[in-house]
Chain A
Amino acid sequence: GAGVSQTPSNKVTEKGKYVELRCDPISGHTALYWYRQSLGQGPEFLIYFQGTGAADDSGLPNDRFFAVRPEGSVSTLKIQRTERGDSAVYLCASSLMGQGYNEQFFGPGTRLTVL
């Protein structure tokens, strides 16, 4: 079956611009996660959805970052007024349910470059 997909695979933008990153989870997975991975580092948690609601957004670095999952499937991560420090690979993952023992399936990521 289809895995987690993310679009675009690469995004280059200028400082100050607005960007949207999309994630399509595995069908039937109720939990969806966003992580950010900087070069040479492990993925860093951003936000977690259980269904349509954000169960935990404690990892969002500031109010320029926002994510939605209006129908409990596709999610969009939105970054306003991008800064050079936002450059990273943004990873999306989904799991059957939101409990911590569930295996998370990761997408290929979106590489964001802010010039």
Chain B
Amino acid sequence: AQKVTQAQTEISVVEKEDVTLDCVYETRDTTYYLFWYKQPPSGELVFLIRRNSFDEQNEISGRYSWNFQKSTSSFNFTITASQVVDSAVYFCALSEPSTDSWGKLQFGAGTQVVVTP
């Protein structure tokens, strides 16, 4: 069963618009970790942010911010004032300690973000 769902396949915006990416996850663990990774056209996955399940405080880091809500099992990610260089596929991922190998990441299908000038 899919543990991480990214319902948006593609989002197209004009530069300087904000972009919000949705992520819904499924887990029975009380402690878990959520991640966002970026995969630009070059192909190499780049770590963006990490959140643990016991800290629901939402934060901002530069143009990135995230909204973590355990009640709805959502971990949404926002890019403020988008730029053309933000064009990439964005993946949400889950790590669960209770599994036999809790180092592994379980990824969603990704959301393609296209930012046009």
Contact = CB atoms under 8 A, between A and B. Distances in A.
Interface of A: 31, 33, 35, 40-45, 48, 50, 55-56, 58-59, 89, 91, 93, 95, 98-109
Interface residues of B, number: 29
B101 A55 contact: yes
Interface of B: 4, 32-33, 35, 37, 42-47, 50, 52, 91, 93, 95-97, 100-110
A107 B52 CA distance: 24
Contact of B33 (A43, A58, A101): A101
Contacts of A42: 4, 91, 93, 107-110
Contacts of B4: 42
28 contacts: A33-B104, A35-B105, A41-B109, A41-B110, A42-B91, A42-B93, A42-B109, A43-B91, A43-B107, A45-B106, A55-B101, A55-B103, A58-B100, A89-B43, A93-B45, A98-B101, A99-B102, A100-B97, A100-B102, A100-B103, A100-B104, A101-B33, A101-B50, A103-B47, A105-B47, A106-B46, A108-B44, A109-B43
Nearest to B51: A101
A24 B20 CA distance: 35
A33 B45 CA distance: 13
A107 B103 contact: no
B103 A102 contact: yes
Contacts of B101: 48, 55-56, 58, 98
A33 B100 CA distance: 14
Given A42-B4, A43-B45, A108-B44, 11 more contacts: A31-B103, A40-B109, A43-B107, A55-B101, A56-B101, A99-B97, A100-B95, A102-B103, A103-B47, A104-B47, A107-B44
A44 B4 CA distance: 12
A109 B104 contact: no
A98 B42 CA distance: 27
A102 B35 CA distance: 10
B27 to A, nearest CB: 11
